[in-house]
Amino acid sequence: MIDSEVFIDTNILLYTLSADKEKADQAEAILRAGGLISVQVLNEVLSVARRKLDMSWIEIDEVLTIIRSMCRVDPLTSDTHDRGRWVAERYGLSVYDAMIVAAALNGGCGILYSEDMQDGMVIEDRLRICNPFNSLS
């Protein structure tokens, strides 16, 4: 069952491929629970898998197929871009982080799982950024 209240950032999904067992297990649990991602997240996973993890196209296709089967995908739109630009200006986030936040807001999410953004930050009084790895040693 997909939980439409959760948006999953790229870094969480990439931990499913990590040798860090604790983080990989936590990331897999989040992915299994489902949620929303954006096309930007898919593009970032693809880029890191090719550039940094040196994965083959076949391996990447398998990973992306699994992710897409467990998560709804929010399309890139000019509305997402406009809202992301506003979020970047208002909250001082990088452009790419702001686009992730905008997609989460547009998708009606209340939680954005991310390791890279400020844990506990609340955007527009309704989207909380949560680092799911804080409880790990």
| Domain extent listing, the chain | 6-130
Contacts 24+ apart (CB under 8 A), 116-122: 116/9, 116/11, 117/9, 117/93, 121/91
Give, for 126, the enclosing helix (H) or strand (E). Answer: none
Q: What residues pair up with 122 in beta bridges, in sequence order?
A: 128
Give, for 8, the enclosing helix (H) or strand (E). Answer: strand 6-8
pLDDT (0 to 100) of residue 23:
95
Question: What pTM was estimated for this model as a whole?
Answer: 0.93
Task: Please state, in angstroms and rounded to a whole number, the distance separating the CA atoms of residues 5 and 108.
Answer: 7
80: closest CA among 59, 98, 65?
98
Its CATH architecture, for the domain 6-130, is 3-Layer(aba) Sandwich (3.40)
Question: Average pLDDT for consecutive 10-residue bins of the chain (137 residues)?
Answer: 76 94 95 96 97 96 97 94 97 96 96 95 95 83
